[in-house]
Structure 1
Amino acid sequence: MTDRMNLFNSNETKAQFILSLLPITLFFPIGIGYTGIVLFLVALLLGGHYGDRWQAIKDSPMFLPVMGLLVVTCGAGLFLDRPVGFWKAFMHYQIYLFLLVFISVGAGRWQQRALNVFFAGAVLAATLFYLSRLQLLPNWTLFQNYIDYAGNKSILLGILLGIAGGWMLNEICAKRDHKLLRIVAFLYIAAALLFLAKTRTGSLIFVFGCALVVLRYMTFSWRSVLLLIGTVAVIGVAWQTASGFRERLVGTAHDIKAFVDGGKVSADGIRLEMYRLTSEIIEEHPIVGSGIGTWAVKYPEKAKGLESESMATPHNDYLLYTAEIGVIGVAALLWIWLTQLIVAVRIGGENGVRLFTIGVAIMFGGLVNAILRDALFGIAFMVLLAIPLAGINRHAYRKHDNHYGDMS
């Protein structure tokens, strides 16, 4: 670990402190989160050490992949079509620059605090879902997404609970202290997600995250057997009793079959129609794409008269990237995402599990939602990615993990 990192750890900066509190803002209206980010940026600018922060960014294993996507998008902006709304669309492609800014603060005690704050936010969110179900939650704007399903923000709440559930199971498996309390918190969040939060994405991320954690800690011991049985039991009970969770998954399977057979899909299956028409756009310029921001122009022409005509994105980042910046662009995106997984495997430990599970969550989320195209999702993931990634030096993965891997 460099002296630069030791400097950050010996005396926590205001930027680190503010960053450690950002996870709880993700569970409330987006304006609260943006206010926190502005405060973080102001503290970062006033804190100085610009050379050290720039070096921390360059030392990160995420630097080269993120710069690769920046180069590809700049090239697309220079040589491909630039429709009305180009600059807004262009900025969405640079969401990972926020991650580089976040990790510029270096490693430190703030990471463990941020993790605790995220868990506290998840427990609070679960409580708000319970209160809403009991009709005890005030009808305030602050709580509106817990009372009524409201699109992407409601989906994000489910995704956050799904990630928190996987990370909490990781804590249960890795730590001996306060195990009963951790188990109760895990079940409390899982029940709110599977029974009350109206999102297939969050539920599936929870299942995938738990499965990854179980596989990571699985050994030939009675504790591993109990862990496996317990996790399967939670998912099994949810399948039998959480009718909304079960119906959404079964409905998705039926929509896929109907779409393949040429039949009519439900309103929830409209994504399949969008995927088909977006694939037609991709066929026009598969290698370099049609240009940043062109999907919003081309898609309404192809979907004229259909229910999906007014959609802002294809709800699939892989297809969106391929349509606008081609195979080259989606390769740059996969470079970023696969780097996250490779780094997670190399650093190992609790931190590696956290990074791997959120990496898988992003890659899966990109299949069914505009995870990066929508800043609501993108910023949230960048904040959470900063927790395991800050302070990691691409030249010394293992050395870093030995010192900070468990953020203890």
Structure 2
Amino acid sequence: MNLFNTNETKAQFILSLLPITLFFPIGIGYAGIVLFLVALLLGGHYRDRWQAVKDSPMFLPIMALLAVTCGAGLLLERPEGFWKAFMHYQIYLVLLVFISVGGGRWQQRALKVFFAGALVAATLLYLNFFQLLPDWTLFQNYRMYAGNKSILIGILLGIAGGWMLNEIFAFREHKWQRMAALLYIAVALLFLAKTRTGSLIFIFGCVLVLLRYLAFSWRSVLLVLGTVVVLAVAWQTATGFRERMVGTVNDIKAFVDGGKISTEGVRLEMYQITMGIIKERPIGGNGIGTWAIKYPERAQGLMSASMATPHNDYLLYAAEIGIIGLCALLWIWLAQLMVAARIGGAMGMRLLTIGVAIMFGGLVNAILRDALFGIAFMVLLAIPLAGINRHAYKNNSNQYGDAGR
């Protein structure tokens, strides 16, 4: 790996190293982001940075969400904690800052660094399984389930697995090494990581890649069959993952029938109550930061009364900034998918799989409301989106589309 290219800026270099920090305590990632911002400010060329942001196909959708949230802040209720909640809605502005550095060879390095981080994370899960992992704070999220950070590690492994399968189909070089790495990560994710979300994102990513590269050739058929066999074996042998999925289905059935749900099925209860909050003011919403106040009032005595979010970004946006705000969010997500379709190639598939991961993750977790998730997704989104000009997709989009070689 070329550690530094004299043609790139220091901000690009630091940004290319951020993906590996996502697998460790959040303070390490934040320290890296601070270094990136310092390098960006000292690097100058502010007009070029601003031009890169304005030319991005993500600029207008993100500005629309900013306008909606500013309008909600001016016209709707502003409870205690408003400003903290308001800043969470601006997570996509972080993406604009990242892509202001433009495209370059740093994207290749960032992808390799991300894969290296995934391999390190998988290794730590194996070491923990064999009780060889040191009892250090650095590894605490691998030694025991620790909430959102443990979930994020699983999500990152799921995305890395889908991206690796994309590399296997897209490039001829190092195919066997990539297949071994994919299997290494997949086993760690499905058997050892304690998250359904990451496992499902991995499966969805693999399905998308298989559909993209499905062709009538022996090589493609063997790769497809091999992937299907791995997933089938994992379903039969990964009892923890299978039990969690079966439990989720049983909770949904019990909730619909009016029966008792498990503690893991509490999200269904939250969704139902949040829908009631949405119905009060469906168009413009109840105001930024109001869910945390209104929900406990309606959930007194229930398991979910102390929850900080509804664990669903669609419902949170609809409850606080209404259908208008939800449409602004969906515009951003649709723009990601449209850019992926337009640029095509390996880079387009990376953007498509992570776009689907965000949209699915938003159904079952506070993917954007929680900065732990949000920052991680913005770092990964910057890899395929940097350097893309909405005025000339075809001229710029595939310049670094082989960033997996």
Residue 227 (str. 1) matches residue 252 (str. 2): no
Q: 2:188 is aligned with what amino acid? A: A
Q: Which runs of 5+ in 2 are unaligned?
A: none
- Report the Cα offset of residue 406 of structure 1: 2.0
Residue 93 (str. 1) matches residue 89 (str. 2): yes
Moved more, 392-401 or 187-196: 392-401
User: Retained in 2: the 8 A contact 1:24–1:118?
Assistant: yes
Match of 1:187 in 2: 183
| Equivalences for residues 143-182 of structure 1 within 5 A | 143-182=139-178
- Report the Cα offset of residue 286 of structure 1: 0.3
Match of 1:353 in 2: 349
Of 131, 134, 139, which residue of structure 2 is paired with 1:135?
Answer: 131
| Equivalences for residues 27-176 of structure 1 within 5 A | 27-176=23-172
Match of 1:197 in 2: 193
Give the distance between the partners of 2:209 and 2:398, measured in 1 at CA. 20
Q: 1:213 is aligned with what amino acid? A: V
User: Retained in 1: the 8 A contact 2:339–2:348?
Assistant: yes
Q: 1:283 is aligned with what amino acid? A: K
Give the distance between the partners of 1:118 and 1:241, measured in 2 at CA. 28
Q: State the Cα deviation string for residues 316-360 of structure 1 (Å, max 9, x = none).
A: 000000000000000000000000000000000000000000000
Give the distance between the partners of 2:376 and 2:287, measured in 1 at CA. 26
Match of 1:309 in 2: 305
Equivalent residue of 2:284, what SS?
coil
Q: Between Structure 1 and Structure 2, how many residues are aligned?
A: 400
Equivalent residue of 2:397, what SS?
helix
Match of 1:268 in 2: 264
Match of 2:383 in 1: 387
Of 2, 5, 11, which residue of structure 1 is paired with 2:7?
Answer: 11
Q: 2:323 is aligned with what amino acid? A: V
- Report the Cα offset of residue 70 of structure 1: 0.0
Give the distance between the partners of 2:169 and 2:6, measured in 1 at CA. 30
TM-score by length of 1: 0.97
Match of 1:20 in 2: 16
Match of 1:6 in 2: none
Of 371, 396, 400, which residue of structure 1 is paired with 2:396?
Answer: 400
Give the distance between the partners of 1:51 and 1:44, measured in 2 at CA. 12
Quote the RMSD (CA, aligned, Å): 0.8
Match of 1:237 in 2: 233
Equivalent residue of 1:195, what SS?
helix
- Report the Cα offset of residue 380 of structure 1: 0.1
Q: 2:10 is aligned with what amino acid? A: K
Give the distance between the partners of 2:249 and 2:96, measured in 1 at CA. 38
| Equivalences for residues 251-262 of structure 1 within 5 A | 251-262=247-258
User: Retained in 2: the 8 A contact 1:28–1:142?
Assistant: yes
Of 328, 332, 338, which residue of structure 2 is paired with 1:342?
Answer: 338
Equivalent residue of 1:403, what SS?
coil
Residue 213 (str. 1) matches residue 204 (str. 2): no
Q: Which runs of 5+ in 1 are unaligned?
A: 1-8
- Report the Cα offset of residue 10 of structure 1: 7.4
Q: State the Cα deviation string for residues 157-181 of structure 1 (Å, max 9, x = none).
A: 0000000000000001111111111
Moved more, 340-349 or 224-233: 224-233
Q: 2:14 is aligned with what amino acid? A: I
Match of 2:293 in 1: 297
User: Retained in 1: the 8 A contact 2:389–2:397?
Assistant: no
Residue 372 (str. 1) matches residue 368 (str. 2): yes
User: Retained in 2: the 8 A contact 1:165–1:206?
Assistant: yes
Give the distance between the partners of 2:182 and 2:220, measured in 1 at CA. 17
- Report the Cα offset of residue 222 of structure 1: 1.4
- Report the Cα offset of residue 303 of structure 1: 0.4
Q: State the Cα deviation string for residues 348-379 of structure 1 (Å, max 9, x = none).
A: 00000000000000000000000000000000
Give the distance between the partners of 1:400 and 1:320, measured in 2 at CA. 36
Q: 1:276 is aligned with what amino acid? A: Q
User: Retained in 2: the 8 A contact 1:349–1:401?
Assistant: no
Q: State the Cα deviation string for residues 270-300 of structure 1 (Å, max 9, x = none).
A: 0000000000000100000000000000000
Q: 2:38 is aligned with what amino acid? A: V
Equivalent residue of 2:188, what SS?
helix
- Report the Cα offset of residue 224 of structure 1: 1.8
Q: 2:308 is aligned with what amino acid? A: A
Q: State the Cα deviation string for residues 200-241 of structure 1 (Å, max 9, x = none).
A: 000000000000000110011112211211111111111110
Give the distance between the partners of 1:199 and 1:280, measured in 2 at CA. 29
Q: Percent identity?
A: 80
Equivalent residue of 1:306, what SS?
coil
Q: State the Cα deviation string for residues 16-70 of structure 1 (Å, max 9, x = none).
A: 0000000000000000000000000000000000000000000000000000000
Q: 1:319 is aligned with what amino acid? A: L
Equivalent residue of 1:371, what SS?
coil
Give the distance between the partners of 1:245 and 1:308, measured in 2 at CA. 24
Give the distance between the partners of 1:405 and 1:120, measured in 2 at CA. 19
